């Protein structure tokens, strides 16, 4: 089905809002007129598409998925069901065979790099990597992507709602928050159209205006408006993931790998760091710190070559939690945990991304 026009969608928003709306943001002009002006935003780029499932897994190639991966390939997806369905050996294969690369959340923009039969090679925005200047590359099933320039314009120009409390919450069909539509991972961001006392009216890439509870989402104009975190803030956020499953390439509430955990924790506070552990360690925005100077929120790294290892040798990252402990997503047999820092031969060192 073709996306609704922007004017029609705003009309729908008026029907939804009724007397409940406290504030509605100024309407955009017709998308045919507005899109050309967004020359620096995703809405102006025909090669940009948007994730239309709660979590899209980004695969190394279209031939990697196995029958057990069906729940991760469908629309809608079931990431918890997928993880539960895999045996320990099948989970280990994700790592050993480098089957998956990362994940992208609902509404996230991806740059189209190539097309295959039923698959699209993309670069995921908001996940910096030396692999591609546009974002983290890999393959997503076509069924999990949609093209919607009007949504892209809203994403580029409007404030966004950030799901930033708890692990997840529902997107609703109604402002009373009764009819559930889609469960969203923490760190999902959607353009804001208006609000009531208890809900934010948000745009979506595939269902038009829908509602998010203000109890689990916060409205921001940009990442710069998100309050700068302290180390304690970062640790508190990382702690919300304790007990969640490890998932190679995972970057959502329902499963994450080591650098997915640290990247999520930082991005929820408006700080985007590289997707993978090696680039996180060597990023120009980070300052290396000594073992004696470790503070909560610092990132700790492990390398097969020890302290002198380069980015390719760094295989693990954790967050220092204070008092000699760290929070980590260690391996497929171990949920996210807090554990003493391992000062062993593989200890590479630590870096700091914040001043406080």
State residue 26's pLDDT score. Answer: 52
d(CA 200, CA 71): 29
Question: Given a cut of 50, is residue 95 above it in pLDDT?
Answer: yes
**What are 238-296's pLDDT values in tens digits?**
999 999 999 999 999 999 999 999 999 999 999 999 999 999 999 999 999 999 999 99
User: In sequence order, which residues have a C-beta less than 8 Å from that of residue 292 and are 6 or more positions away?
Assistant: none
- Is the Cα dihedral 102, 108, 109, 114 positive or negative? positive
Mean pLDDT score of the chain, rounded to an integer? 89
State residue 355's pLDDT score. Answer: 84
d(CA 296, CA 312): 26
SS3 track for the chain: CCCCCHHHHHHHHHHHHHHHCCEECCCCCCHHHHHHHCCCCHHHCCCEEEECCCEEEEECCCCCCCHHHHHHHCCCCCHHHHHHHCCHHHHHHHHHCCCEEEEEECCCEEEEEEEECCEEEEEECCCCCCCCCCCEEEEEEHHHEECCHHHHHHHHHCCEEEECCCCEEEEECCCCCCCEEEEEECCCEEEEEEECCCEEEECCCCCCCEEEECCCEEEECCHHHCCCCCHHHHHHHHHCCCCCCECCCCEECCEECHHHHHHHHHHCCCCCCCCCHHHHHHCCCCEEECHHHCCCCCEEEEECCHHHCCHHHEEEEEEEEECCEEEECCECCECCEEEECCCCCCEEEEEECCCC
pLDDT-derived band of residue 25, with 50, 70 and 90 as boundaries?
A: low
Question: Given a cut of 90, is residue 137 above it in pLDDT?
Answer: yes
> Which phi and psi angles does 73 have, rounded to 5°?
-105, -15
pLDDT-derived band of residue 46, with 50, 70 and 90 as boundaries?
A: low
**What are 58-91's pLDDT values in tens digits?**
999 999 999 999 999 999 999 999 999 999 999 9
Average pLDDT, stretch 189-213?
Answer: 97
pLDDT-derived band of residue 44, with 50, 70 and 90 as boundaries?
A: very low
Lookup result for tokens 């954790």: 318
Question: Given a cut of 60, is residue 28 above it in pLDDT?
Answer: no
State residue 13's pLDDT score. Answer: 38
> Which phi and psi angles does 12 have, rounded to 5°?
-60, -40
pLDDT-derived band of residue 179, with 50, 70 and 90 as boundaries?
A: very high
* Residue 188 tokens, joined: 């999902």
Q: Which residues pair with 338 in a beta bridge?
A: 327
Question: Given a cut of 70, is residue 155 above it in pLDDT?
Answer: yes
pTM over 0.85: yes
How does strand 189-195 pair with strand 217-220?
unpaired
State residue 1's pLDDT score. Answer: 39
d(CA 23, CA 40): 28
C-alpha 148: how far from chain center:
20
* Domain architecture of the chain: domains with CATH: 6-28+158-225 (2.30.30.40), 48-149 (2.30.30.40), 231-352 (3.90.1720.10)
State residue 206's pLDDT score. Answer: 95
């Amino acid at each position: 089905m073709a996306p609704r026009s922007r004017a029609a969608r705003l009309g729908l928003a008026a029907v939804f809002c009724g007397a409940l709306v406290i504030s509605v943001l100024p309407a955009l002009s017709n998308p045919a007129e507005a899109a050309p002006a967004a020359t620096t935003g995703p809405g102006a780029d025909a090669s940009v598409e948007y994730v239309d499932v709660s979590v899209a897994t980004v695969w190394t190639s279209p031939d990697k998925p196995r029958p057990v991966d069906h729940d991760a390939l469908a629309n809608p997806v079931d990431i918890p069901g997928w993880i539960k369905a895999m045996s320990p050996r099948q989970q280990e294969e994700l790592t050993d065979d480098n089957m998956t690369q990362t994940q992208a959340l609902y509404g996230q923009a991806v740059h189209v790099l190539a097309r295959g039969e039923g698959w699209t090679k993309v670069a995921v925005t908001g996940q910096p990597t030396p692999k591609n200047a546009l974002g983290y590359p890999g393959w997503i099933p076509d069924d999990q992507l949609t093209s919607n320039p009007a949504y892209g314009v809203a994403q580029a120009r409007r404030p966004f709602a950030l799901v930033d409390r708890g692990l997840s919450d529902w997107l609703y069909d109604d402002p009373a928050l009764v009819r559930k539509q889609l469960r969203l991972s923490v760190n999902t961001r959607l353009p804001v159209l208006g609000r009531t006392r208890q809900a934010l009216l948000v745009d979506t890439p595939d269902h038009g205006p829908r509602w998010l509870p203000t109890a689990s989402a916060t409205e921001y104009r940009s990442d710069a408006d998100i309050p700068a975190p302290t180390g304690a803030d970062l640790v508190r956020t990382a702690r919300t993931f304790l007990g969640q499953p490890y998932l190679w390439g995972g970057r959502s509430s329902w499963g994450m790998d080591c650098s997915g955990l640290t990247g999520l924790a930082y991005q929820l506070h408006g700080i985007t760091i590289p997707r993978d552990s090696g680039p996180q360690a060597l990023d120009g925005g980070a300052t290396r710190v000594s073992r004696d100077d470790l503070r909560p929120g610092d990132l700790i790294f492990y390398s097969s070559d020890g302290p002198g290892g380069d980015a390719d040798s760094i295989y693990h990252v954790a967050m220092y939690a204070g008092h000699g402990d760290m929070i980590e997503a260690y391996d497929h047999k171990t949920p996210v945990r807090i554990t003493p820092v391992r000062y062993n031969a593989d200890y590479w060192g630590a870096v700091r991304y914040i001043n406080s």
